[in-house]
Amino acid sequence: MTIPEIFEKNAAQWPRREALIATQRGQDVTVTFSELKAASDHFAARLAAHQIRRESPVLVFVPMSIELYIALLGLFRVGATAVFLDPSSGIHHINACCKKLPPAALVSVLALRCLRPFVSGLRKIPLVFSPPGVSCNDGATVPLESPAPDDPALITFTSGSTGEPKAAVRSHRFLIAQHVALKTSIALEPGERDLTTLPVFVLANLASGVTSILPDAKISRPGSVNASRLGRQTRRLLPTRSGGSPAFYQQLLEEPSSLNGLKKIYTGGAPVFPSLLRNLQRALPHAKIIAVYGSTEAEPIAHIGCDEISDEDWNAMREGRGLLAGPPIPEIRLRILPDQWGTPISRFEPLAEGKIGEILVAGDHVLKGYLHGQGNEETKVWMGDEIWHRTGDAGYRDDAGRLWLLGRCSARVDDPRGTLYPFAVECVAMSFPFVRRAAFVLLKTKRILVIESNGSKQDHSELFDAVTWAGVEEIRKLKSLPVDARHNAKINYPRLKQLLR
């Protein structure tokens, strides 16, 4: 089964159910499953009329919106491949991505269409479409192309650690497997209303009969969303569940009424520290608050509810044991191997429980490779006839089989005193109310804890005492710690070291 086939069935089963709700210029716009199908069919007919067909790569520059999902479903229906890249990475990045995979067409908002004459990679694209709307539906239809399960559905370019773009290729089979894993692990139930900031999760919602409420916010910067405006939206539209990054919920906690009515919150994409889980649980004492661990290549991997964390677990995190991620989901296979990050894995021998190493995963919803194989050598390992993905994260499993995270292997602190991973120290620091963000680094020969304050009263001496076991020699305060652009929550350790010099 493919995405178009699943959506076709759902549109027939729930024709009048709300599929997507967005707030545009202060007005709420609703699209039902049947209306979404009709609009995407119309766009598919336009694409087919211009010879866009199975496996044609189509570059998409459309923000998270109703128009984005009309475009995606139309592309899927003709078997084309939707290609995404981050235009904020600059013209060189855009040109490099277009050279690696020349698009057959471009679907773009006006602002980026206006840049096209000045960007060679975009200028060479032969066809340009504006984002399709709901109203432009004249009943046009197109025969279902029925892409093969292993045909690429989505390709997402990233800058990569070297600055050269690499592309994650998600096939229809991969997206269906991801939907199955998500439906179980985050308990998607038909009829729910989900305030979601994660674009790929909307596809899982559409496949599950869940109504997606698109936030009235610029979700490309979740750490700076307007909580008051979101609060007004949630009070009108009454979502029952929500999914987003920790930075998103940190903002919403500034306007607790924006969380009213939510029965489930799933947060991930970046470290979910205990303080956030507890603050969300205090704001919503009867809701399920779940931390989800995953990555672009494997989402989800593990999860744990706030109510599943014992007093012993909370204490362990405050004492430097790391960050509890919970048991791996049934659909994933997980191994801990000796940390050899930066070098090929020579032997595939898992470590015993309690031993720290790199986390590797395998499963149907684990990405098998990248476009043209770029990045495979660093992150993929063959074991028999199965491909395993190197997450680059360090961790271990406890006696109960639960996964504990210790941070990026590349961010580990190595000196004559031994090896220590960042989350062990950062978890301790994040338990202090005045710490908004924390990062543990080695600067030359000095172990330093860097904190970003939330503005409340500070007692650095108590914090210093709490991390002396880690050999911390200095606590520094920065107005803001550098974080990733996507989730606004992952510490950019190389950039932080540059700032500290």
- CATH code, 493: 3.30.300.30
* CATH number for position 118: 3.40.50.980
Rounded distance, CA 294 to CA 6, Å?
Answer: 24
Q: Within a domain: residue 24? A: yes
Q: Are 443 and 500 within 8 A, CB to CB?
A: yes
| 95 within a domain of the structure (yes/no) | yes
Domain count across the chain? 2
Last residue of some domain: 117, 152, 176? 176
User: Would you call 87 exposed, middle or buried from its count of C-beta atoms within 10 A (0-12, 13-18, 19+)?
Assistant: middle
What domain range is 171 assigned to? 3-176
Closest-CA residue to 409 (of 425, 397, 398, 420): 420
Q: Please report whether residue 135 resides in a domain.
A: yes
Q: In the chain, what is the straight-line distance between the N-terminal and C-terminal CA atoms, in Å? A: 54
From 129, 147, 176, the end of a domain falls on 176
Does the residue 349 lie in any domain?
A: no
- The DSSP code sequence of 146-200 is ---TTSEEEEEEE--TTSS-EEEEEEHHHHHHHHHHHHHHTT--TT-EEEE--HH
Q: What is the pLDDT of residue 220?
A: 80
Tell me, yes or no, whether 247 lies in a domain: no
Task: Give just the sign of the alpha carbon dihedral 112, 118, 122, 123.
Answer: positive
Q: Which residue type sits at 272? A: V
39 lies in some domain: yes
Q: Which of 160, 176, 192 is the last residue of a domain?
A: 176
In this structure, how many other beta carbons lie within 10 angstroms of the beta carbon of residue 129? 20
For residue 382, tell me if it sits in a domain: no
Q: Report mean pLDDT in 10-residue bins for the chain, 501 residues.
A: 88 97 94 96 94 94 96 95 87 92 96 91 96 70 73 85 75 93 90 92 94 92 89 95 94 91 95 96 97 93 97 97 97 95 87 95 94 90 92 97 97 95 97 94 96 79 95 94 84 93 83
Question: Residue 191 falls within a domain, yes or no?
Answer: no
Structure confidence at residue 162 (pLDDT): 45
| Rounded (5°) CA angle 35-37-39 | 70
What pLDDT is stored for residue 160 in this prediction?
A: 53
